[in-house]
Amino acid sequence: QSALTQPASVSGSPGQSITISCTGASGNVGRYDLVSWYQQRPGQVPKLMIYKVTSRPSGVSNRFSGSKSGNTASLTISGLRAEDEGDYYCCSYLGGNTYLFGTGTTVTVL
Amino acid sequence: QVQVVQSGAEVKKPGASVKVSCKSSGYTLSSYYIHWVRQAPGQGLEWLGIINPSGGSTNYAQKFQGRVTMTSETSTSTVYMELRGLISEDTAVYYCARLRPTFDAFDFWGQGTMVTVSS
């Protein structure tokens, strides 16, 4: 199965808000509220930022928020900071104990 | 505290097999599913499969079926991922990651194991 579709890159100035989309299909993103988002800074291990579409793990800034509409999930970063730079990946449950990642988005703070 | 520690880097020739280990501590391995994810150089994350350490049931991504085997050893809190018939495109960092008990996300990741396939 092909990866979920994300924009290759998104950029913004400090303090601005940006949104990263994650487009799937009715059988994955559209069917299950089991979309998660991961941040990966250069040379580091992925870090869980959002789970179950909108929930934030403890310790993750409330500047990060998630949403979903139809077959597209989104991650919004508000009050953009230099430390938010990195790659972001969405992940969706497909059913049958299988999962699928997005293509990844590089966030650049201008 | 929860820790997930993987085995060290490997260099393999095309056609060979590699077996990567993932040792957990700070929690009961049998209570959480473990996933394997890989990342080729400069590329994105790719899901390989999942193992339930309690009982050993597995599910693999269709792309890897027939070439990958995931096993668990609860006595040592270790899971293994073996990939056979290696080709250069298998060169990647391989991660194990713990699935939350609500099955909604991967909360703890190993540090990654670099596997290089080269003649």
pLDDT reported for residue B104 = 86
- Nearest chain A residue to B37 by CA: give it: A101
User: Measuring CA to CA, how many Å separate B75 from each of A45, B1, B23, B25, B97?
Assistant: 27, 19, 11, 12, 19
Is the pLDDT at A26 greater than 90, yes or no?
no
Mutation target vs B (from A48, A54, A68; most B CBs, 10 A cutoff): A48
- By Cβ distance, the residue of A45, A87, A104 closest to B109 is A45
pLDDT reported for residue A4 = 94
pLDDT reported for residue A23 = 96
pLDDT reported for residue A2 = 84
Residue A85 burial (CB count, 10 A): 15
pLDDT reported for residue A27 = 86
The structure tokens listed for B105 are 């996300």
Chain A residues bordering chain B (beta-carbon distance below 8 Å) = 1, 3, 34, 36, 38, 40, 45-48, 51-52, 55, 57, 87, 89, 91, 93, 96-104
Which residues are registered as beta bridge partners of A29? none
- By Cβ distance, the residue of B62, B95, B100 closest to A45 is B95
Question: Mean pLDDT, 10 residues at a time, over chain B (119 residues)?
Answer: 95 98 92 95 95 93 95 94 98 96 90 97
- Nearest chain B residue to A5 by CA: give it: B44
CB contact under 8 A, A98 and B106: no
Q: How confident is the model at residue A91 (pLDDT cuts 50, 70, 90)?
A: very high
pLDDT reported for residue A84 = 97
CB contact under 8 A, A96 and B59: yes
Q: Tell me the per-residue pLDDT of A61-83, one tens digit each, with 9 for 90 and over.
A: 999 999 999 999 999 999 999 99
Residue A28 burial (CB count, 10 A): 22
DSSP B104: S
Residue pointed to by tokens 């590699």: B18
CB contact under 8 A, B104 and A1: no
Is the pLDDT at A1 greater than 80, yes or no?
no
pLDDT reported for residue B102 = 84
